[in-house]
Structure formats: structure tokens, C-alpha cells
Chain A
Amino acid sequence: GAVVSQHPSWVICKSGTSVKIECRSLDFQATTMFWYRQFPKQSLMLMATSNEGSKATYEQGVEKDKFLINHASLTLSTLTVTSAHPEDSSFYICSAFRDPYEQYFGPGTRLTVT
């Protein structure tokens, strides 16, 4: 069964609004979670590494003030897309390592900004 969940699975929002995406590890604790973004027909691009109890580490080119990450517990990380614009429309996927060898991905959240 699924070991990482995401909510919502899809969301449509108007330009200028904010959207929060939740990522949960279901049967294990994850001190570190990863947020990826995937545009159509492209591979996954790491946006940031979410660290429980501390600030997230953002990849080069990702605006930390626009993509707010909060890892408040060992099983929950949230990504908030602030003041969303149509170019933020994408497939957002979180992941976590349950053990050192297997990284599990959430089912993804498809965001459409109109």
C-alpha cells in the first residue's frame, strides 16, 4: 500500500491566490522530505529539501518566498504556493526515504492556475 500520501490530488485556483499541498509519511517517520516539480514531458526537478524542525533547503532558482515549506512534524511536510500564477501550473510530487535504499513518492498534486 501507499507509504506517502499527498493532499489534494488536484487543485484549480485563480491567479494570485495561495495553495497548500500536504505530504504525509504514513507508517514511518521522515526527518527529511523532498519536493519535486514536473512539467509535461519533462523529468522531475528537485525544488527543495524539507527538514523537520528547521528551514528547508531550496535548489538554485527556486524562490523560497514563493514556495513556502513547513516540516512541522516527523510525518508531515507542507508546500504552499503563494500568489500562484499560470506558470506555476505543474505536477508537484513529494517523497521520503523509508529506509536508506528506497525512496517513496507521493501520488502527486496537479496544480492548475487559471
Chain B
Amino acid sequence: GQNIDQPTEMTATEGAIVQINCTYQTSGFNGLFWYQQHAGEAPTFLSYNVLDGLEEKGRFSSFLSRSKGYSYLLLKELQMKDSASYLCAVRFYSGAGSYQLTFGKGTKLSVIP
């Protein structure tokens, strides 16, 4: 089966840096995704890692260690609009040429002035 853990809630200050961790256990691993979801809206894609290392995309960076089953999302220069839920999702091979995503429960980030 698939198991993904991430903290339920975090609070950080505007302008600061915050790191959201995600650990996973899965078979047939084929990549790890981070999504941002504002309340009442669908998730939007932030980043994708399939190889070990750091992927940087503007204020957002994502890191993956496959051997440790660990990833983190780093948000720099936090803005109030970054207040949202951040979902860690693992893609795995489900057989017959198909892939699926399993989502963690999400980390609700609150950015305070």
C-alpha cells in the first residue's frame, strides 16, 4: 500500500522561510509532486521530483531523497497569499501501464504578518 505523512498545520511569518516535510512509503515509486490548494479550490501544481536532489522554481524549492522516502517543500520570502494547504503526492505504478497519485492529508500553512 501507499502511506504518506506530512504535518497537519504550520505557521510562519511573512517574509520568512518555511520547510514542509513529507515522508512516504510506497511500491512502484514514480515521482513525488507538491500541490498548493486554497480553500474551496482545486489543487495547483507546484513541483515534481523523480530523481534525488533539489528542484528550484522561483520562491519554491522541492527536495527528494528516494532512499529515505523523504521530501520537503521550501517556501522563501513568504507572502500572505501563500496561506494555503500544501499537498504531498506520490505517483506509483499501478499496473497495466497505468500510474496513480496518492495524496497526503495536506499541511495547512498560515502566514502571519
Do A and B share a complex? yes
Interface residues of A (CB under 8 A from B): 32, 34, 42-46, 49, 57, 91, 93, 95, 97, 101-108, 110
Residues of chain B lying within 8 A (CB to CB) of residue A106 = 42
The total of chain B residues at the interface (CB under 8 A) is 22
Q: Is B28 an interface residue (CB 8 A)?
A: no
Number of CB contacts from chain A to chain B under 8 A: 44
10 contacting pairs across A/B (C-beta < 8 A)? A34-B101, A43-B87, A43-B103, A43-B104, A43-B105, A93-B43, A101-B48, A103-B33, A105-B44, A110-B40
Contacts of A95 in B (CB 8 A): 101
Residues of A within 8 A of B44 (CB): 105
| Distance A107 CA – B42 CA, assembled complex (angstroms) | 5
Residues of A within 8 A of B50 (CB): 101
Q: Is the CB of B100 within 8 A of A46?
A: yes
Contacts of B41 in A (CB 8 A): 107-108
* B43, A105: Cβ atoms closer than 8 Å: yes
User: Is the pair A103, B87 in contact by a Cβ cutoff of 8 Å?
Assistant: no
B84 CB to nearest A CB, Å: 13
Query: How many Å lie between the Cα of A97 and that of B104 in the bound state?
Result: 19
Q: Is the CB of B102 within 8 A of A46?
A: yes
How many angstroms between the C-alpha atoms of A105 and B35 in the bound complex? Answer: 10
